[in-house]
Structure formats: C-alpha cells, structure tokens
Amino acid sequence: MNETILISVTPRLSQVWSTMVQAHATPATPFFPLTGLHKYIAIFLVILSWILVHQWSLRKQKGPRSWPVIGATVEQLRNYHRMHDWLVEYLSKHRTVTVDMPYTSYTYIADPVNVEHVLKTNFTNYPKGDVYRSYMDVLLGDGIFNADGELWRKQRKTASFEFASKNLRDFSAIVFREYSQKLSGILSQASKAGKVVDMQELYMRMTLDSICKVGFGVEIGTLSPDLPENSFAQAFDAANIIVTLRFIDPLWRLKRFFHVGSEALLEQSIKLVDEFTYSVIRRRKAEIVEARASSKQEKIKHDILSRFIELGEAGEDSGGLGDDKSLRDVVLNFVIAGRDTTATTLSWFTYMAMSHTDVAEKLRGELCAFEAERAREEGVTLVPCGPDADEKSFAARVAQFASLLNYDSLGKLVYLHACVTETLRLYPAVPQDPKGILEDDVLPDGTKVRGGGMVTYVPYSMGRMEYNWGADAARFRPERWINEDGAFRNASPFKFTAFQAGPRICLGKDSAYLQMKMALAILCRFYRFQLLEGHPVEYRMMTILSMAHGLKVRVSRAF
C-alpha cells in the first residue's frame, strides 16, 4: 500500500519541482552568475554570514544582545517601564554596558573613574550633543540644560552670579519657609479630617510656587488651601514623559510629521506650557516697566528672570537672551531644576521615612533637640502643644519652630542632611544623564566609544553598586554619611553624582538642600506619615525620577 502511494506521488513531486525551478529560473549575468534556486541559496548564505559576522563582532560587548538593524530595541522596549533597574542588573555585572539602537548606540557607565573622564577630564568631547538636543529641544530649547558651547557658558555665568548672591539666598530662605508653612497648614487640616493626601502632588505645588517666586518674582498660588487646577504642571509632566520616550522610539519623527500618537499629545502639551511661560514673562516685564515708571526702583525684584531681562535689554553678555523665546527657555529650564528635582526627592524621602521608622524617629529626636536649643538661644518661650492641641496653638508652635530655621541654623541638622543625601544616593532626581560623543575615545576601563554615539552615566545604578558603596549599597542607611566625630562625611562628586560633577556641576545644589531641609524639618518635626494600604510606589520613565502613581498617605500629628 505505502509503496503504491509513493510510486504515484513521486512523478507529481518531480513535476512540482520542475515547475518551481522553471518559475524561479533567471538567466545568468556577469553580475549574478548563479541561476534558479542556487541564487536564493546564495542570498540566504550571504544574509546568514552577515548575521554571524555581526554577532562575532559583538562577542566582547557587555550588555543586552544586539541584532542587525534593530540592535537591542526589543529588549529595551520590553523593559522600558523598569529601565533603571534593568540597567542596574547589567551594570552590577559589568561597570560599562553598551546598548545598540537603530540609529546610534548608548554606552552606560557606573564606574567613578569613567564618570570623571566624561564629566571632567575629557569634558569637551562629551557635550549634550545634537542627538540629545533633537530629543529635548521642543521642551528645553536653548536653556542651560540643553545648551552647549558659548551659549551654555554665558547662561551659566549669569546664573552662577545670581546663585552666589547672599540676597538671593536670604530671600530664598524666606520664601521656602513661607511655602513650607502653607504645606503644613494643608496637612494639619488633612490630619484633622482623616483625609488621604498625595504628597508628591503637594510637593510639586510647593516647589512650583517657590521657584516662580524666587526665580521669576511672581505668585501663582497652586498651593492655596483649595488646591486649584494646575494645567501647566499636568502639561509639563506629559511633555517630559514623551520627550523621554523619544530616546528609544525609532518612529517618533514619523509620528511628529503626521501629528499622531504621543507626538500629537506632545504638541498640545507644549502649547499649554508655552501659554503659562509667556504669561509669566509678560507679567514680569510689565512689573518692571511699572516700577520704573513710578521711579520706585526698590520695587524691581532681583530674581533670576529679572536679571536675564535686564541683561537682554542692555545688550550685555547674556547669551543671546534678549527675546521672549530665549527667556521662555530660561524659565522652563529653571522650572525643571527648581520644581521637579526637589519635589521628587522630597517624595522619595517621605517614602523612605515611612519605610524606615527607626530613621524617622531618630530624625525627630534631632529636630526636637534642635528646637529646644534654638529656643533657648533666641529666648523664645515655646507654645505648649500636645496631640490634642487646638488648630491655633498648633499653628503657632509650627510658626515658632519655622522662625528658628535659616540657612545657618539648618547646617546644624547633620542627621537631616545625611537623610536627604542618602535619599539622593538611592533615588537621584535625574536617574540618567546622557552626553553626546564628538570624537572616538577610549574610556579609562578600555571601552571604546565612537563619535556620534552617546555615553550616559547612571546615578540610579551608581548608588546601588557594591563596587561603589560596599556590601550594603542597596540599603537605606543615612549613618554612612556621618563620620566618627559626628560631622557630615562628603563623597567624591564622581561617585555621588546626584548633582553632576565637573564644569556642569549643579549651580542650585545649596538652594535645593536649603528648600528640602526647610520643608522636611517642619514636616518631620510635627507629622507622621503612613502609606495608604495597597498604594503602589513605582517610578515612571521621564527625565526626572518621579513616582508613577503619586505618594498617597494618611497624615497625623507627631508629639
């Protein structure tokens, strides 16, 4: 039976085979001498050889598997929601990791020696670069975080002059104290009502109001007791998320061209952001004109935006910042520096305090001792205040404590400073910072990087590497920052990179610490926080390490 079937089928197979050969047969040419199926076999072998050669060339590459054309896009997209922890896994095995993408390659570094080479030793070879600028230009424009070369130097010179001003520092302390007390009032009401609050949202409101007052001289009132709608903040966050997605989305230019998907949303978000920003600039300019017209020069505020406006009007060396578009870029760069980074750190600090009650109680002990000592020094009689104190007495006690806080007195709170710094080590506000590569270079560990690519140092990973911080690197332990004499112990800025290092080191570092310590001293002295049951705490992918679902807590008074 089987033999009969085989005999009858064989002629048919031969006929099919003959037909296929004839159908695919092509005449031999000087350019392609093979014909028929031999041609397709040859093409297959060429492609196979190309893949094998590609894989062989990457045999020593440390990082995710890379494929021809698409690179490591698939794995990166699959892990995009947990990108920072994905990099931790690779960088814990290899101090340098290369990730190929369709149009470029990213080299991620976590070794302080390599970081110093990029941020300082060979600084000029690692600018922000055209690739980074193309991604971020729609949001940051020519602002200090997105600029290179002479434009960056001129902006930094102007900004550094302002940040070095004692007047700005003292004014900042007053503003930070004021808005910290406003936040305390909102929390006091929430405690009384048993209301759940989103601390990240409240911190974002507080820092936005603060940067607008300190940086731009305007009151916007988002931290009012009724918590008004904040369309600017929502649009700014949406824009931030989408420009971050561009780093791994090979289709973003196509989506922008057709105004679809995420790029369509980005366009709408930027429109709202610009409306707010230009209104701030117009308001500030109008106030300056009014003050000059009334001959009351003392009414001209000496905020950062006013300084840039004056330099632009005078045609001085202000980095070409005479027009509103340039001032818009200044405003948005300072918003992301003064609002997002600070609020994000405050959120992660609060989460760490809730997760480590021993740390929270030790900190409260330092704050209570500080309060008693400073009250004696100032001759202040503290208002008696217990768990059942009325609102008036409680608010008066908070105000008394706040009045004892200034730039110098906050410097005495060593454990608080250590807690903030430890939070930044594990949850840096900027978890990754990419740089362009101008020319081919070799990093100190021997890794070759090619011009046109990008190299990224990764503060989020660096804080978790045992080769940087020891066996307990992943543990939240503020004591690592305090020496045997009880003083704060600094670390190399190329190891603790939360504020960058080298020529681009953060100008607002002291201001950020001032605001964070001012707010946290008040909140941790007078309140306890409890995470809402079942509330997930995860980061979301954007340039800043913010929480994807906010930080919803129950708050109670602490006495």
Enumerate the known binding-site residues for heme: 506
DSSP for residue 539: B
Which residue pairs, CB below 8 angstroms and at least 24 apart, start in 532-535?
532/196
The DSSP annotation for 291-325 comes to: HHHTT-GGGS---HHHHHHHHHHHT-SSSS--SHH
DSSP state of 337: I
Neighbours of 48 (CB within 10 A): 10
Chain centroid to CA 438? 24
Give me the torsion for CA of 69, 74, 80, 81, rounded to 10°: 170
Can you tell me the distance from the alpha carbon of 421 to that of 513, in angstroms, rounded to the nearest whole number? 9
Q: Which residue type does 536 have?
A: P
Neighbour tally for 390: CB within 10 Å:
9
Residue 338 φ/ψ, nearest 5 degrees? -90, -25
The DSSP line for 118-152 is IIIITGGG--SHHHHHHHHHHHHTTSTTT--HHHH
Rounded to 10 deg, the angle between the 37-57 and 2-24 helix axes is 80
Axis crossing angle, helix 341-355 with helix 414-426, rounded to the nearest 10: 100
DSSP states of 388-402 as a string?
A: T--HHHHHHHHHHHH
Q: How far apart are CA 241 and CA 74, in angstroms?
A: 20
Q: How many CB atoms lie within 10 A of CB 368?
A: 14
What is the rounded CA–CA span in Å between residue 461 and residue 232?
A: 31
CA-CA-CA-CA dihedral for 297, 174, 237, 433, to nearest 10: 100
The structure tokens 């007390």 sit at 181
Numbered residues of the known binding site: 506
Count CB neighbours of 100 within 10 A. Answer: 24
Can you read off the two tokens belonging to residue 50?
């190309």
Structure tokens at 485: 């004499």
Residue the block writes with tokens 């600029």: 147
